[in-house]
Chain A
Amino acid sequence: MSQETDAGPADATPAPRAAKGGSAPRSNARAQEARRRFIRTAVMSTAVVGAGLAGYLPVAAQADKPRLRPPGALDENDFLSSCIKCGQCVQVCPVEAIVLGDITDGFGIGVPHIESRAQACDFSCDAVQCILACPTGALVYRKPDFLKIRPGAELAHKPVLKAKANDPEPTLNLIERAGLARLSRPEACLATQGKGFKGQARGAGFKGQMRYMDVDRWAPIPVADHPYERDLCDLCVTECPIQDAIRLEVTEAADGSKRGIPVVMEQCVGCGVCEMICPVEPTAIVVDSRAVWEGEA
């Protein structure tokens, strides 16, 4: 502890000066303490910087399976560098789809992402509020010129939001997709098996919410409060908030039975509603984050 002497506090001597031998002669004990402190400081500084750099490991590990970022996010590394980790995007989202990364995400700590299966972005804010909220341009309507758009990430035209179809301006201000939906387990898909669906899409305990235009345009409700009844399951298609993003291709067998297969189209922005609403466990359709359009599968 610091004592009140004319010699000053114990932290007064920088080690290098002691080593060179300052103008005033110093006792061995003080020189030794200064040396110890110097070593201690070097070890501590290395440990702190090392701990900081360790944040790269999760980033590298997630490189081939990146998290789904909110709409308008810059490409992964640019997003990590430009995000100031404040969570303002979290606060404006009406369905609370955006969650922040933890320390297990390394440099991605405090950086927003979307867990579509639990709660997808259904654009119930109409205006992509998270982009509006972002103070640093990590989420943007239009990228700055020096950042290039990856081929296939650009949408052919601004996506039309079904909920706004009758508004004077029906489109979302989005230029790029966040990812792309993919029928990952066609064998499990109810439609491909010719099955219908009746009941709560994700069961009674599911906490996810969605905006239903026939209920209330401005107040999303729990998916559990909105049961469905379909002869042939087409929830991923009907609940998709974007026009021309996914369709159900139906084939009719000779006996009159129908089978369908969901086909993802160019306008898919990767919002993840299809992944959230799919009643099969685990889901038959997923969103591949950062995936680009390479033509219809």
Chain B
Amino acid sequence: MKGRFLEQIKLMLGQAPQKPAEISPEAQQIHKMKRLTKEDFEAMKKHVRDHALEKHTWRNRRWTVLILVNLLFTFSFWLDIQILEGALTASRFVGFHLIDLNSALQVMLAHKHIIVNLFIGTATVFLLWAALGGRSFCSWACPYHLVAEWFEALHLKLVEKKWVSDHQFHRGARTVMWVLFSLLALVTGFTVFETLSPTGILSRALIYGPSLALGWVALLLVFEVVYSRRAWCRYVCPIGLTYGAVGTISPVRVVYDLNHCFHEGDCRKVCLVPHVLEMVIKGRSPDVKVPVGPDCTRCGLCVDTCPSGALKFEVKGLNKLL
């Protein structure tokens, strides 16, 4: 499984998913069994389908957290309750500095000088998201993610009606963007990405009131609705990659269980980053239990969607403790 770790990082940087080079004997047996008893398999699948409940447990929890976090920013200023002061790019939680990793990176590269508070805030946020799953920042805190999710529903409706279609980009674009925006910050001495970041724009608009910059956010949303599903989060946003890198060491993750999977692919249809769910395709799972890679935003949509409970949240090591 050691090779898999590197493979998942390459996958996050834009490489196409590969068929597993090695499949464990246990997994091979299950793969084989699923082929042998096709009728039984279909019957089981139907049984699970019929008894599956439509649930939005994780989505609702996530939306609640995301909205509360952003409202806490807003009310800390509006009502002067001073719990979470600042915006998503940098803030103080009851006095403790918190600094967004990508914004910190941009400022450090552009300004080339790191003061103590900047370091403390960045280190704190690094530890926080390393523990909580890296890209879970995206789905559990980023206001653009939520808005984009709502507009994604609209996009999918239009796709269904065949009014629009999803034009995919190469996922490597995001890696290129990350490198380019870092270089631009370093060379120009300006935080170029911040000018475009819908995360910063929305966060500030929620706290300090509406701005013209919301027009840019609207433009992105229109683009995503009519041309390319979730384009900003999937192919552009370097914040996602920064947090993804942090998430490589995270104990919080979604784990796939081959035993419970009927390979229907509902999870991949709802997923923002379906390449991380490559193993759910029939015959692809390298093992019986496979943790989902670091590009996963831990949004839990797949966990909600899976009718047979093959995808579950897990905290590494916690299962052994409990």
Residues of A near any B CB (own CB < 8 A) = 1-6, 8-15, 17, 37-38, 40-41, 44-45, 48-49, 51-53, 55-56, 59, 77-78, 80-88, 90-92, 100, 102-104, 106-107, 109-110, 133, 135-137, 144, 146
- Whether B184 is near chain A, meaning CB under 8 Å from some CB there, is yes
Within the complex, which residue of A2, A83, A91 is in contact with B85, where a contact is CB–CB below 8 Å? A91
Instruction: Give the docked Cα–Cα distance between A85 and B264 (Å).
Output: 45
In the complex, the answer to whether B169 meets A37 with C-beta atoms within 8 Å is yes
**B195 interface residue (CB < 8 Å to A):** yes
Contact A137 B172 (CB under 8 A): no
Could you write out 28 A-B pairs with CB less than 8 Å apart?
Answer: A6-B281, A11-B171, A44-B169, A44-B173, A44-B235, A45-B180, A48-B177, A49-B184, A56-B188, A56-B190, A77-B189, A81-B185, A83-B191, A85-B200, A86-B86, A86-B89, A87-B207, A88-B86, A88-B90, A88-B91, A91-B86, A107-B195, A109-B194, A109-B195, A109-B200, A135-B90, A137-B117, A146-B113
Residue B34, interface by CB 8 Å: no
- Whether A37 contacts B170 in the complex (CB less than 8 A), given A4-B265, A85-B200, A136-B90, comes out as yes
Do A88 and B92 touch (CB < 8 A)?
Answer: yes
A77–B110 CA distance with the chains assembled, in angstroms: 10
Whether B107 and A82, one on each chain, are in contact in the complex, defined by CB atoms closer than 8 angstroms, is yes
Question: Looking at the complex, which one of B92, B196, B200, B282 makes contact with A52 (CB distance below 8 Å)?
Answer: B196
Complex-state Cα separation, A2 to B177, whole angstroms:
24
Which residue of B16, B117, B191, B231 is within 8 Å of A11 (Cβ)? B16
CA distance A86 to B103 in the complex (A): 10
CA A11 to CA B170, docked complex, whole Å: 7
Main SS of the interface on chain A?
Answer: helix
The answer to the question of B135 belonging to the interface, with a C-beta cut-off of 8 Å to chain A, is: no
Q: Tell whether B149 is near chain A: CB-to-CB under 8 Å.
A: no
Interface assignment of B7: CB less than 8 Å from any CB of chain A: no
A47–chain B nearest beta-carbon distance, Å: 10
B16 touches A14 (CB 8 A): yes
* Residue from A12, A40, A52, A107 having most chain B Cβ neighbours under 10 A: A52
Determine the distance from Cα of A11 to Cα of B195 in the docked complex, in whole angstroms: 29
Chain A min CB distance to B231 (Å): 8
Inter-chain CA distance A79–B118, complex, in Å, is: 15
Question: Which residues of chain B are near A13, meaning CB under 8 Å?
Answer: 16
- With A13-B16, A56-B188, A81-B107 as known contacts, state yes or no: A100 contacts B169, CB within 8 Å: no
B317 touches A (CB below 8 Å) = no
B216 interfacial by beta-carbon distance below 8 Å: yes
Tell me whether B201 is interfacial, beta carbon within 8 Å. yes
User: Is residue B167 within 8 Å, beta carbon to beta carbon, of the partner chain?
Assistant: yes
Q: Is B236 an interface residue, CB under 8 A from the partner?
A: yes
Tell me if B168 is interfacial: C-beta within 8 Å of chain A. Answer: yes
Min C-beta distance of A149 to chain B, whole Å = 16
**Hey, which chain B residues are within 8 Å of A2, CB to CB?**
265, 268-269, 274
CB of A82 within 8 A of CB of B89, answer: no
**0/1 per residue, B190-211, Cβ < 8 Å to A?**
1111111000110010011001
Interface residue? B251 (CB, 8 A): no
Query: Beyond A4-B281, A9-B274, A88-B92, is A102–B212 a contact (Cβ under 8 Å)?
Result: yes
Are the CB atoms of A85 and B173 closer together than 8 Å?
Answer: no
Chain A's closest residue to B214 (CB) is A103
Question: Among the listed A49, A51, A135, which residue makes an inter-chain contact with B118, where contact means beta carbons less than 8 Å apart?
Answer: A135
